[in-house]
Structures are given as structure tokens and as C-alpha cells.
Amino acid sequence: MNTITDIDVKESFGTIDVGGQIMYYKEVGTGDKLILAFHGYGNDSSLFRFLKHQDFTVISFDLPFQGKSVGTKDRPFTKENLYKLVRHFLKEKGVRKVSLVGFSLGARICLCIAEHMPEHIYNMILIAPDGIVHNRFYHFVTKTSLGNTLFRNFVKKGEGYLRLFSFMNKVKLLSNSKFKFASQYIETEELRTLLYDIWMTTSPLVPDLKKVDQNIKKRKIPVHLYVGKKDKIIPYKNALKFKGKSEQIKLHLFERGHNLLFFEEVRGIVKAWLFRTYSSSKEK
């Protein structure tokens, strides 16, 4: 592992084999409180560098096919692989509990950890969270034969779909925000292939929401949801549904869209809550 120093908080990086997926990760800080962070689609581990703090160790990952991670097409990222990843860093850092931070797709990954390893979670921050309601379209294209066939056809013949989406946008059947969001990820065959590889590789990482809810309540895990009222990708009504009447889940709404973590105001609030919850804790 190579190490560099930024001001007074150490930064390092490394790779780890996760069930055949070689995942790159960044480690910021040397504190005795551990945070594991997972980014969203099209991002990488640098998204969480703002969380550096002398009392914490923040480990953020480049998910398969993103950032500097090497994706393996025939090796899905399973829940079992994810649990091994978490246990590895719990053991390496000598701690019993961890804070989880996830943005978009990364939030879905955090929920999978909460499904199986709630006893090891100190708290969770989920930002513009994917995975908090069942996504029928995602299930169709990644879990069914017909859906997957159509998905692969879309990768090869995406120009036709683009023309269709453009027409739907013009006649107001598809909003400008969704059209722009979709276009940036499907404009070329290379981008569509990347979308296919990422979606298929992470398709096993769909949480059992009933079990997650039970675990949050039973273990009294503090969960904070940060959601944009103008988010057209993950509508804030999904967060309202996920929260329900749970006292453990706190909902924070912003007059923003999906990319909440690109705004300093949101980053500041995330840091303030996360670091404050540890101020009087000696949990290890």
C-alpha cells in the first residue's frame, strides 16, 4: 500500500479481491472510529474525501467497472462477497461496529449490509438512496430472461432507443431531467456496455427491505436519509415510504436534485451529524 499525507490526515490506497472483483479503495485518516462509504453510479471513492477527520478512518471503495476498480463480467458482486468485505475491514481495524455512508447505488449496498450484519452497524447515512423501494424495471432487466435479452439488445442498438427517448421528451412523455440523465449514460455503445456491466454485476445486491426494517427497529440503528425534493431519479416519495412511522429513521429534505453530495451545504450537514454522534461514544 502506498501512502501520502494531506495536511495532518493521512491518506492511503489499496486493492482487495472481492469474489474475483478487484476493488480499489481509499483510506483517509487513522482514527479508531471506522466509516465505510459506497458511491453511486458514475462516481468513485474520491466522492467521500470530504469526510476526513483525525478521529476517524474512512474507507471508500471504487465499485466494479468504476473508478480504478477492475470489473470482472462473469463474477457478480454477491451479498456474501459484500459481507466478507465488511468483516475484513472490521477485523483489520479491530473494531466491532462501523458507520455506513452510501450515495444512490451505494445506499443500496449499505442496506444489504443492514440486512445481514445489523449487529455491526453503529449508524447509517443514506443520500439520494437507491434500494429503498422495490424497483420493478431493474428487476425485469437484470433478473428475467426476457428483460435481459432486451437489455442486451439495447446495448447493441441503442441509437434507436435514443431517438425514441428524444421523441418522448419532445411530446412531454419524458421529462427534461430524466432525458438528460439517461442520455449521458446511453449515448454511445461504450457507455451502454458500461451500464449493462455495472447493473448486472451489482444485481445480486438488492436488500430484503422487510428484514432491513426489522433489523433497524430491533437494533435501534440510527438512520438518516438525505433526499432532494427535485430528484427525478429517486423521488423523495420513496424515502417517505421507506421511513414510514419508524422513529429510528430521520428524513432530511433539500431543494435539490439527485446529486446532493456535490453541494457543500449537504456535505456540511452530513459531516456535522456523523461526527457529532460519536462525540461521547467509545464504541469499538
d(CA 243, CA 159): 39
Any idea which residue has 436534485 for its cell?
Answer: 257
Average pLDDT of the chain is 89
| Cβ-contact 31, 53 below 8 angstroms | yes
Q: Are 115 and 140 in the same domain?
A: no
Residues forming beta bridges with residue 2, ordered by sequence position: 13
Q: Among 154-163, 205-214, 244-253, name the most confident range.
A: 205-214
Q: Is the confidence at residue 4, as pLDDT, over 70?
A: no
Give the structural domain span for 195: 136-201
Helix (H) or strand (E) holding 226: strand 223-228
Q: Are 70 and 28 in the same domain?
A: yes
Which grid coordinates are listed for 277? 454522534
Which grid coordinates are listed for 96? 466491532
Q: Are 24 and 120 in the same domain?
A: yes
Query: Can you give the C-alpha Rg of the chain in angstroms?
Result: 19
Q: Is the confidence at residue 54, as pLDDT, over 90?
A: no
CATH number of the structural domain spanning residue 60 = 3.40.50.1820
Q: Please give the pLDDT value at position 130.
A: 96
Domains: count for the chain: 2
Q: Identify whether 284 is part of a domain.
A: no
Q: Are 78 and 105 in the same domain?
A: yes
Q: Answer with the residue of higher pLDDT: 58 or 177.
A: 58
Put the strands of the sheet holding 121-127 in their side by side order.
2-6, 9-18, 21-28, 56-61, 33-38, 98-103, 121-127, 223-228, 249-254
Q: What is the pLDDT of residues 152-163, one digit of tens each?
A: 998 988 777 777
Q: Is the confidence at residue 263, as pLDDT, over 60?
A: yes
Q: Are 64 and 86 in the same domain?
A: yes
**In which band, very low, low, confident or very high, does the pLDDT at 212 lie, cut at 50, 70 and 90?**
very high
Q: Are 109 and 21 in the same domain?
A: yes
Q: Are 124 and 231 in the same domain?
A: yes
| Cβ-contact 267, 45 below 8 angstroms | no
What angle do the packed helices 209-219 and 105-116 form, to 10 degrees? Answer: 60
Of 98-107, 175-184, 260-269, the poorest mean pLDDT is in: 175-184
Looking at 182, 201, 220, which one is the last position of a domain? 201
d(CA 249, CA 267): 19
Q: Strands 98-103 and 121-127, how do they pair?
A: parallel
